């Protein structure tokens, strides 16, 4: 008989029509890996390892993996590592987001199909943590997220450097002719010098903090630098915590709840975190039927102060955040705004955690709630006829002199069109115009790349223009900055109003009123809509994962998840 309460290698037996034989066979094959009989009887903690030679951010995982294994053994379990897809942000074409759902499917299915009582998720680079949390939420096996930790900074002459806000800063200076060919090539070798994720509050660090805020990571582990000995101790503790969950199982569905998702949104806003995190948190929550509403985001944003002074919004790096007090300090400052009854993988509530006396906090980096760096949250959702289902602006990383204005649209039909024309000396553009990029959303051939940070045309950057309103259905790297309206939904490829914008149209942006409108009358829009033809490649001309992706990907307000990966009773909002 199959035993549903079985542990270790007796879980989820391969079906040979004879359960006892299946268990016998499995143990004899497991024994071939050199395990003693004693270990073969232990509960199993799987370790989802996203190490890859194509992922520089995870290059220390072999050492971290050893630490996790030590912790599991200490906790009385048998650690069994298994590989999953890895998503190295810089090494994937057309963009890593396209493969996030594939990694989540891999993670979910391998957790479910293999015999493990709990799992440690070893991820870090931008899309890996969302993919693992999505997969773990769907598999709903007790899980502990362990992140890679951030890189250390480096130096160029007297300046500190950290990937990748400084990559963009120096590249902008190079485009403006202020940095030479020689210097830009020297800097190339100094931007990313250690293992770990990008050194600023980009997507990876934001998602690490969100995992901790949700309760899926151990308290205090989000910001520990990748190369610090504490990161290895966090690995050991995560393995131990996962082993503890064998006696007291806590499933992701008990941790990721409406209240913990709201806490995570508060943290995201207080961090001035990455815009990508909205999409990822929406997708993670969606796996458990929890809806993240952009209207609710705005309500939370208006009442959540920005508390950290980190790049790309501020001036410090993740290692400074760690030494300044990290997530514990942020959560303590936010305490009156948080739901304290949410649970973490330790079995403690957030309230229990925050009872502990604060250690040293450097308030130059983590502000007190009553003396915040900004009184309102870093992100705001915009609505209007240009984005009926919302768009996102990272107001904390934008120039507020551009927040209330009307501008003339300068339209780029695609990424290729942008690349071909943006530096054309004859491009008809001034600093008062709005650059509009179409066809870079989730359904586009580019799969919603981080291309929303449109380069400022050389003719303007040479004149010293540092920011200009930019609007698109693309995403933006968490390490970028500027007055950039992203995730316009519905996207152009799905027939959204964005597809109808033409050169010379007027667009009104009001951050105060949270709106973005195309100032073209409805009759004219109807006329344009009836003439519009989708440019996306038809399904029958695609194959493999590309076809699955094109058929199933949802819009940004649904987290760009696949419809069929959400719980079966979720009402489909497939466009």
The least CB distance from residue 1 to ligand FES, in Å, is 47
The least CB distance from residue 239 to ligand FES, in Å, is 23
The least CB distance from residue 321 to ligand FES, in Å, is 15
CB atoms within 10 A of CB 432: 12
Kindly tell me which of 122 and 511 has the beta carbon lying closer to ligand FES: 122
Q: Tell me, what DSSP letter sits at residue 421?
A: H
Name residues contacting ligand FES, limited to 126-165 (CB under 6 A). Answer: 126
Kindly tell me which of 117 and 126 has the beta carbon lying closer to ligand FES: 126
β-bridge mates for residue 102, sequence order: none
Kindly tell me which of 90 and 227 has the beta carbon lying closer to ligand FES: 90
- Rule CB under 6 A: choose which of 30, 39, 48, 57 binds ligand FES: 57
Cβ 539 vs Cβ 547: under 8 Å = yes
Separation between Cα atoms, residue 431 and residue 219, nearest integer Å: 46
The least CB distance from residue 287 to ligand FES, in Å, is 22
Kindly tell me which of 89 and 557 has the beta carbon lying closer to ligand FES: 89
Kindly provide the residue ranges of all beta strands, DSSP E only, lying in 124-259, ordered along the sequence.
Answer: 143-147, 154-156, 159-161
Q: Tell me the CA end-to-end span of the chain in Å, nearest whole number.
A: 45
- Rule CB under 6 A: choose which of 47, 120, 125, 242 binds ligand FES: 125
Kindly tell me which of 319 and 505 has the beta carbon lying closer to ligand FES: 319
Kindly tell me which of 191 and 393 has the beta carbon lying closer to ligand FES: 191
Residue recorded with tokens 């079966």: 568
Instruction: Compute CA distances 418 → 39, 406, 410, 456, whole Å.
Output: 59, 22, 11, 11
The least CB distance from residue 404 to ligand FES, in Å, is 33
User: Residue 109 corresponds to which tokens in the numbers above?
Assistant: 């299915």
Alpha helices (H) along 75-113 = 97-113
Name residues contacting ligand FES, limited to 78-117 (CB under 6 A). Answer: 89-90
Kindly tell me which of 202 and 273 has the beta carbon lying closer to ligand FES: 202
Q: Is 103 helix (H, G, I), strand (E, B) or coil?
A: helix
Separation between Cα atoms, residue 391 and residue 381, nearest integer Å: 5
Q: Is 485 helix (H, G, I), strand (E, B) or coil?
A: strand
Name residues contacting ligand FES, limited to 281-320 (CB under 6 A). Answer: none
The least CB distance from residue 208 to ligand FES, in Å, is 10
Let me know the angle formed at the C-alpha of 422 by 507 and 99, rounded to the nearest 5 degrees.
Answer: 85
The least CB distance from residue 91 to ligand FES, in Å, is 9
Separation between Cα atoms, residue 436 and residue 439, nearest integer Å: 10
Residue recorded with tokens 């466009």: 575
Going by C-alpha positions, the residue among 232, 306, 227, 318 that lies closest to residue 268 is: 306
The least CB distance from residue 56 to ligand FES, in Å, is 7
Q: Determine the size of the site formed for ligand FES (CB under 6 A).
A: 9
Name residues contacting ligand FES, limited to 390-419 (CB under 6 A). Answer: none
The least CB distance from residue 90 to ligand FES, in Å, is 5
The least CB distance from residue 200 to ligand FES, in Å, is 9
Kindly tell me which of 57 and 294 has the beta carbon lying closer to ligand FES: 57
Does 204 participate in binding ligand FES (rule CB under 6 A)? yes
Kindly tell me which of 92 and 290 has the beta carbon lying closer to ligand FES: 92
Name residues contacting ligand FES, limited to 159-198 (CB under 6 A). Answer: 197-198
Kindly tell me which of 52 and 489 has the beta carbon lying closer to ligand FES: 52
User: Residue 89 corresponds to which tokens in the numbers above?
Assistant: 């942000």
Name residues contacting ligand FES, limited to 333-392 (CB under 6 A). Answer: none
Separation between Cα atoms, residue 114 and residue 281, nearest integer Å: 26
Kindly tell me which of 198 and 237 has the beta carbon lying closer to ligand FES: 198
The least CB distance from residue 452 to ligand FES, in Å, is 16
Separation between Cα atoms, residue 374 and residue 464, nearest integer Å: 27
CB atoms within 10 A of CB 543: 9
Cβ 267 vs Cβ 213: under 8 Å = yes
Q: Is 524 left (phi over 0), alpha (psi -120 to 50) or beta?
A: alpha
Q: Which residues bind ligand FES (CB under 6 A)?
A: 57, 89-90, 125-126, 197-198, 202, 204
């Amino acid at each position: 008989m199959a035993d549903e309460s079985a542990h270790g290698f007796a879980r989820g037996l391969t079906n040979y029509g004879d359960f006892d034989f299946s268990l016998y066979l499995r143990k004899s094959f497991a024994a071939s890996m050199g395990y003693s009989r004693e270990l073969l009887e232990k509960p199993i903690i799987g370790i989802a390892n996203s190490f890859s030679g194509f992922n520089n951010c995870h290059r220390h995982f072999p050492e971290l993996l050893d630490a996790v294994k030590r912790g599991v053994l200490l906790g009385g379990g048998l650690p069994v590592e298994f590989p999953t897809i890895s998503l190295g942000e810089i090494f994937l074409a057309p963009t890593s987001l396209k493969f996030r759902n594939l990694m989540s499917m891999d993670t979910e299915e391998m957790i479910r199909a293999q015999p493990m009582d709990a799992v440690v998720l070893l991820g870090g680079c931008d899309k890996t943590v969302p993919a693992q949390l999505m997969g773990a939420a769907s598999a709903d096996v007790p899980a502990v997220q362990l992140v890679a930790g951030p890189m250390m900074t480096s130096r160029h002459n007297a300046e500190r450097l950290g990937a990748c806000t400084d990559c963009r800063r120096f590249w902008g200076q190079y485009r403006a002719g202020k940095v030479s060919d020689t210097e830009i090539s020297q800097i190339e070798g100094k931007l990313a010098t250690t293992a770990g994720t990008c050194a600023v509050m980009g997507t990876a660090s934001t998602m690490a903090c969100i995992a901790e805020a949700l309760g899926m990571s151990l308290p205090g582990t989000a910001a520990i630098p990748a190369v610090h000995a504490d990161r290895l101790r966090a690995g050991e503790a995560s393995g131990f915590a996962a082993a503890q969950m064998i006696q007291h199982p806590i499933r992701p569905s008990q941790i990721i709840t409406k209240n913990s998702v709201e806490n995570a949104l508060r943290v995201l806003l207080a961090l001035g975190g990455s815009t990508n995190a909205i999409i990822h948190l929406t997708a993670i929550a969606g796996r458990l039927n929890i809806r993240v509403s952009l209207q609710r985001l705005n309500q939370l944003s208006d009442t959540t102060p920005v508390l950290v002074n980190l790049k790309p919004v501020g001036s410090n790096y993740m290692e400074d955040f760690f030494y300044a007090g990290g997530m514990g300090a942020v959560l303590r400052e936010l305490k009156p705004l948080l739901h304290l009854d949410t649970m973490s993988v330790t079995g403690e509530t957030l309230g229990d955690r925050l009872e502990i006396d604060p250690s040293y906090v450097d308030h130059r980096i983590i502000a007190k709630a009553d003396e915040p760096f900004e009184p309102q949250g870093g992100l705001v959702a915009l609505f209007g006829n240009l984005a009926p289902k919302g768009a996102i602006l990272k107001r904390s990383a934008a120039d507020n002199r551009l927040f209330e204005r009307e501008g003339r649209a300068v339209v780029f039909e695609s990424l290729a069109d942008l690349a071909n024309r943006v530096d054309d000396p004859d491009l008809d553009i001034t600093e008062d115009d709005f650059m509009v990029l179409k066809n870079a959303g989730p359904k586009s051939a580019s799969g919603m790349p981080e291309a929303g940070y449109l380069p400022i045309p050389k003719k303007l950057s040479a004149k010293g223009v540092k920011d200009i309103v930019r609007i698109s259905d693309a995403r933006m790297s968490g390490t970028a900055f500027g007055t950039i309206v992203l995730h316009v939904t519905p996207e152009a490829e799905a027939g959204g109003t964005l597809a109808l914008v033409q050169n010379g149209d007027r667009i009104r942006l009001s951050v105060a009123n949270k709106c973005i409108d195309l100032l073209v009358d409805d009759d004219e829009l109807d006329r344009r809509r009836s003439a519009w033809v989708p440019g996306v490649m038809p399904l029958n001309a695609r194959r493999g994962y590309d076809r699955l992706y094109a058929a199933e990907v949802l819009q940004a307000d649904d987290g760009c998840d696949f419809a069929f990966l959400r719980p079966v009773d979720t009402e489909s909002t497939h466009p």
